[in-house]
A and B are shown apart, each in its own frame.
Chain A
Amino acid sequence: MKPEGRSIAVGLGIPTVCVILGTLILGSSQTVVLGFPLVVFWMFCCFVITAVCLSICWMVFDRKPLLAFEELDEVPELPAGAEH
């Protein structure tokens, strides 16, 4: 049930790096692409990049184990640390 490291790296790591580094690097650029400042245009690209990354996570890492887990799962398990 818990997401695995590789999945987090692809689905959250890559988009975060794209957004933060992209803003830091392109924020002061005066280039205009299709009428938008470059940094704003880059953010639009990040929408697609993020959807692709998350789709990769789903298809490569998460789909099979999660569906298998849901098929077997009758009684909900307690999340980690629930005994505290």
Chain B
Amino acid sequence: MTTFTFALVLVAATGIGLYSRIGMGKKTEDFLVGGRSFGVVLTFVLGVGETYSIGTIIGFPGGVYLNGSSYAVWFMGYILLGLASGYFLLPVLWRAGRVYGAMTAPDMLKAHFKSRSLELTAALVGIVFLIPWAQLQLTGLTVALQGLGLHISEFWAVVLGVVLAIFFTLLSGIRAPAYVSIIKDIGLILAVIVVAVAALSAESGNTAKALSAAANSGKQLIGSGSPMTFAITTILFQAVGFYMFPFAIQAILSSRKASVIKRTSRLMPLYMLMYPFLVIAAFFAVAQFPNLTGTKSNLAFMEVAKQVLPDWVVGLVAGIAALCAIIVLVGSSLSIGTLISRNVVPHIPEAKQKNVVKICVALYLLISIVVTIEFPSIMVGLINTAYFGITQVVVPVALMMMRNRVRPIIMAVGLAVSCIAALVLFAMNMSFGGVKLY
């Protein structure tokens, strides 16, 4: 029954994906940025769809389970301030995209600064740091499939996820994730609420007391030392880089008007009202399954679902979680393809562009499978790794919006050095002025 309801979610998503092909144009621009024709609803849905990945439904409760309030505050804080910054930043980016006929941030930088080196560096940064993002989705997908109780190996779980992602990408480019996000977003909220409410009303032991004990545990205090430094610095750093993800920029360029983006952005924070329910699920896991250590903490949300819900609902929840991963994988894959075809190996004729995009997507997903299997990680850690590099792109983008005299080659070198420095500091576990990269 669990497997049946899981499959049902994916079949419904496929139906919507097929429906999204109706009225689709044949140009590359239609495939990658929806012909820049999306209105309020699709812009909102695509924006939300790309923002709330499986990192939210599976990774967030796991992080809170393992690290307490400092992770909850960081995760919610950076998304919230990122969304607020988007209200101001995105219309300007959208405008630049229109003026320059751009589909990516490197497109804009190339056109504005007339610099191939800056374009190439920004594109490579985007590609490299989208790999941990795909790893995040695939790790979450494995957790969702494990939640089904299927004895499927990690390898086949990630392969299945990748096959589904390729299928949705080939359906209709950016239109498929936009349309499928409708079912995914409604499902995400419902799944989170159902699990939390079921946990609250569970008869196993004294749930209220257990949750209260979890809320009062020492982990929930953010002391003045390392946890507080982590929370504050990471909120600010990642809020700045929130909309620098290639798929986020691509989603914005799909919009019809700047006013559509502003009207959409102002309501985005309300979607975050699902987080109280995720925190409840995390606290329930703390109380009921105290022994999930290391990467096992990723299982916290699905363990709660399995404990408090009937099998067929667990299947639906796992299906929605898998859909979250697939949608974001599709968005990331399209971005990778776009960056490679337009910015790394440009001058490809329009007719060949689509094929190049598809080949590059397959390669990107293949690398992601290998990384996921070879380097298992705590999901929230992967979010941080992606931001180490993606956030650096904000510097040339900000300089693009100002009158400045910085030479493009200096920006390109700065971009490359800052990404390498972040990775070195992270790999060597070094502290920089009291701030440490996690």
Contacts and interface: CB of A to CB of B under 8 A. Distances in A.
A27 B266 contact: no
A2 B401 CA distance: 10
B113 A84 contact: yes
Most A Cβ at <10 Å: residue of B96, B216, B221, B269: B269
Nearest to B216: A32
A20 B223 contact: no
A51 B99 contact: no
A56 B60 CA distance: 30
Interface string A61-84: 011001100100000111111101
Interface string B192-220: 00000000000000001001100110001
Contact of B84 (A16, A20, A40, A70): A16
B224 A19 contact: no
Given A11-B87, A39-B222, A76-B99, A27 B69 contact: yes
A6 B401 CA distance: 19
Most B Cβ at <10 Å: residue of A35, A46, A63: A35
Given A7-B88, A36-B276, A79 B232 contact: no
Interface residues of A, number: 48
A38 B301 CA distance: 22
Contacts of A50: 80, 83-84, 269
A28 B223 contact: yes
Interface of A: 1-3, 7-8, 11-12, 15-16, 19-20, 23-24, 27-30, 32, 35-37, 39-40, 43-44, 46-48, 50-51, 53-55, 57-58, 62-63, 66-67, 70, 76-82, 84
Interface of B: 69-70, 72-73, 76-77, 80-81, 83-85, 87-88, 91-92, 95-96, 98-99, 112-113, 208, 211-212, 215-216, 220-224, 227-228, 231-232, 235-236, 257-259, 262-263, 265-270, 272-273, 275-276, 279-280, 283, 400-405
